[in-house]
Amino acid sequence: MAKEITMPQLGESVTEGTIDRWLVEVGDQVNKYDPLAEVTTDKVNAEVPSSFSGTIKELVVKEDTTVAVGDLIAYIETNDEEGSEREQERENREPKEAPSTKEQSGDSSMKTRYSPAVLALAGEHGIDLQQLTGTGRGGRITRKDVEAYVKGSATRSAPQKQEAKSPPSDVSEQRQESQSLRAGDERVPVSGVRKAIANRMTQSVQEIPHAWTMVEVDVTNLVRYRERIKGSWKEKRGYSLTYMPFFMETVAQALKRHPVLNATWDKDAIVYKKEINLSVAIATDDALFVPVVHHADELNVNGFARKLHELADKTRSNTLSNTDMAGGTFTINNTGSFGSIQSIPIINHPQAAILSVESIVKRAIVQKDDSIAIRSMVNLCLSIDHRVLDGLAAGRFLQDVKHELESFSQD
């Protein structure tokens, strides 16, 4: 009996995934829970496990294709002959039952075969799916069927006079493409993590009204303290002590005192999150991941350092789990690691704020007594969702963080 394998939901609020690589071929024997494909979402890289034991019959989706959650990706032939006979018997009986409601039953039966992506696309364009003929297995209507119907409708409804006024649209499109690509240019299709990041950032900018502010902080005492202990720290624990654990501890405690920064916009309401879970950006050579440190307000510098080391290892070895990527309520980004001294970060949707910690630099600073001293300074750049909070709340939060960092004791 042929069973359907669909795209699972691989994380909180994940709506689609990209098939990076199939791990099986048609004809392969697999057991239940064996990995079938490597999938990339906007949150995590993961493997799709098989829901059944059997033989791979068909791989419906090609590699580098983005598929909505719930969409069909493969068929697997199982040995459940008895189940197949029962299903066939049920299907044979359905048309004979309640002839007066045949049309209604048919509509209900077909809807169970529509994927979420097909229903969403049909709803967007006001299409009655009963008018379409499916090209998928068993007459199943696919997203391509709906897209083809939409394209055909647009062509049929185009005014005739427009054809006389301008050359065919495909000609102008070809001309635009030839103008955008010059000799030596290279067009590289975007897929996988890069595509997920692009979609996520576009969604954030389009949906969230961003506002931005910045403060400069004197972290001289913090720098001196870290310089004094970093050697013994690494010798004892086996990994380096960076500045990020200090900033993360300070931010986590400040979020407890300023809960609006730990909130999110939900339609016409603001949801204040009980948990403080810090999303932290970790870059690889070709991608950026944002795993989460859960219950951040319960950790000290030691706990943050250990957790960051673990997440960095998982990121580089491509072993981040769904749990590692889910549940973030506020994002902190270490843009200073590559020398940046100022940035305007894009909010990690659907959070309400993101903080960039810039590079620590030595500068000549005028002191309270008008003397000049060389101090270690850092810029903290904050982007906020202006629907959730305003400049006053953002300013108070940053001043709180600034005060705590500048009051750091070297003891």
Question: Distance between the two ends of the chain, CA-based, in angstroms?
Answer: 70
Q: How many CB atoms lie within 10 A of CB 359?
A: 16
283, β-bridge pairs: 288
The CA distance from 357 to 405, in Å, is 12
Known catalytic residue at 390: yes
Can you say whether the dihedral through the CA atoms of 390, 393, 395, 397 is positive or negative?
negative
* Tokens read off for 154: 């647009």
Select which of 390, 400, 403, 411 is catalytic. 390
Give me 192's structure tokens: 């996988």
CB-CB contact of 231 with 386 (8 Å):
no
Query: Which residue blocks in 95-142 are alpha helix, DSSP H?
Result: 102-111, 116-125
Closest CA relative to residue 222, chosen from 400, 397, 377, 339: 377
Cβ-proximal residues to 397 (8 Å cutoff; 6+ apart), any chain: 254, 258, 261, 382
Q: Report yes or no: 251 and 355 within 8 Å, Cβ to Cβ.
A: yes
How many C-beta atoms lie closer than 10 Å to residue 116's C-beta? 15
DSSP E strands: which ranges in 60-112? 65-68, 72-77
The 10 Å Cβ neighbour count of residue 99 is 8
Which of 34, 64, 386, 400 is the catalytic position? 386
Region of 126 (left: φ > 0; alpha: ψ -120 to 50; beta: rest) is left
Taking the C-alpha atoms of residue 67 and residue 39, their distance in angstroms, rounded to an integer, is 10
Q: Which residues are catalytic?
A: 386, 390
